[in-house]
Chains A and B, each alone.
Chain A
């Protein structure tokens, strides 16, 4: 940046000292290039001042609806330490379980070839991750047998957490399910509560050639916001994400990232749960905590 650039900017803001401003104005009369530079800055400023402003979609009352955050009781280093220890413990326990399963010859985590034969084309990484969340002894054949005994008319079982219940529902999706064989139990351990709401999602896309229930594996939760990735063996890849954000007392924002089609797409929409349900063919179950 040259000194001229700086001085022109100061002149535009009326912050250039009078003597410097006078000298610059004299130069502007004799130097068209400099004058053009100032004109461009003025037009930029004019455009910036006409940028349309948004109206916020929340009020103080909306924000107060959530419970106040409990004050922190431990110093930051301690919280970080506890979190690190928890992560390390989790990693160790997962490793140990996996090692034991392999060693005892019970590792029935399906190979890629098995899954392909069974109609599952998920990459091994994604499916294996899901496989960890259920009994590794259960083979695909056993699942098929078990599934064939299920009553398709029966609703999903209601799961209870300490504070609220989550009802897994199939509803209108049921007729479109190609087979019940692959129905897997909800990944309960992945469910978490938001500060004032519990969100459970089931998403179905008409475009998917082999439709099924897509379970939401919640990966992280921030205040008022749930982020998760959709993981199921029906899909060609663990390639969808969903985010449901509570933006006011009754309105939610839904963001879907779907690359199961040839052309990936991102969909963002806002509305009440009923509206989102209708527009996106999505089952949304949100239970507010009292």
Chain B
């Protein structure tokens, strides 16, 4: 299938029952969504779950997406909301913690980890921890704008707030991260 086909067009075809279009959309977006979720949840495994959940929701109820809206903003919003839901659920349960928190308490996991996670340098791991420790709104702004490279306007549509608010949240997030990451900067 042509790479020039837009996401919106593929989403419309998915709504009409085209499975190949769904597969192509998943192929295009899965890595981005999993990485977004990884940053928002701070947990690589949870990110995989969230990634699957996002696409399953779309597959099961494709009409939840309005083809007149940009697909990118819609799918990122779904992923963000799922991450927040998950974070709230998990925060009430101490049993399952982030990998970082678990390892702080129990020592490093002796088992082989997924490739990307194993390659993290200390600085990168510290940055992920620091991002995960940010308040939800600041974390959204930082991840969407600074890491994912979205504009303030694009991020504002996902966060549901004005672009100016995004910019101030981003500045606050950066300030906190610089303070926390001083050792690595």
Name A residues whose Cβ lies closer than 8 Å to a Cβ of B: 1, 5-6, 8-10, 12-13, 15, 37, 40-41, 43-45, 47-61, 63-64, 66, 68-69, 71, 223-225, 241, 243, 245, 247, 253, 255, 257, 263-270, 279
Q: A44-B177, A52-B116, A225-B49 are in contact. Are A60 and B24 (CB under 8 A)?
A: yes
Closest B-chain residue to A67, C-beta based? B60
Which residues of chain B from 138 to 185 have a CB within 8 Å of any chain A CB?
142, 145-147, 152, 167-168, 170-172, 174-175, 177-178, 181-182, 184-185
B4 to chain A, nearest CB (A): 19
B interface majority secondary structure: helix
Closest A-chain residue to B22, C-beta based? A60
Closest A-chain residue to B51, C-beta based? A56
Interface size on B, residues (CB 8 A): 67
Provide the bound-state CA to CA distance between A11 and B2, in Å. 38
Give the A-B pair count, Cβ closer than 8 A. 156
Provide the bound-state CA to CA distance between A33 and B39, in Å. 30
Chain A CB count within 10 A is highest, among B38, B111, B171, for: B171
Contact call A60/B115, Cβ cutoff below 8 A: no
Contact call A54/B47, Cβ cutoff below 8 A: yes
Contact residues in B for A53 (Cβ distance below 8 Å): 31, 35, 116
Contact call B185/A43, Cβ cutoff below 8 A: yes
Task: Show 8 residue pairs from A and B whose CB-CB distance is below 8 angstroms, ordered by the A residue.
Answer: A10-B171, A44-B178, A54-B48, A60-B27, A60-B59, A68-B59, A265-B106, A269-B112
Q: A1-B168, A56-B34 are in contact. Are A51 and B128 (CB under 8 A)?
A: yes
Name B residues whose Cβ lies closer than 8 Å to a Cβ of A: 19, 22-27, 30-31, 33-35, 38-39, 44-45, 47-49, 51-53, 55-56, 59-61, 95-97, 99, 102, 105-107, 109-112, 114-117, 119-120, 123-124, 127-128, 142, 145-147, 152, 167-168, 170-172, 174-175, 177-178, 181-182, 184-185
A35 to chain B, nearest CB (A): 14
Contact residues in B for A43 (Cβ distance below 8 Å): 185
A269 touches which of B111, B117, B181, B185 (Cβ 8 Å)? B111
Closest B-chain residue to A43, C-beta based? B185
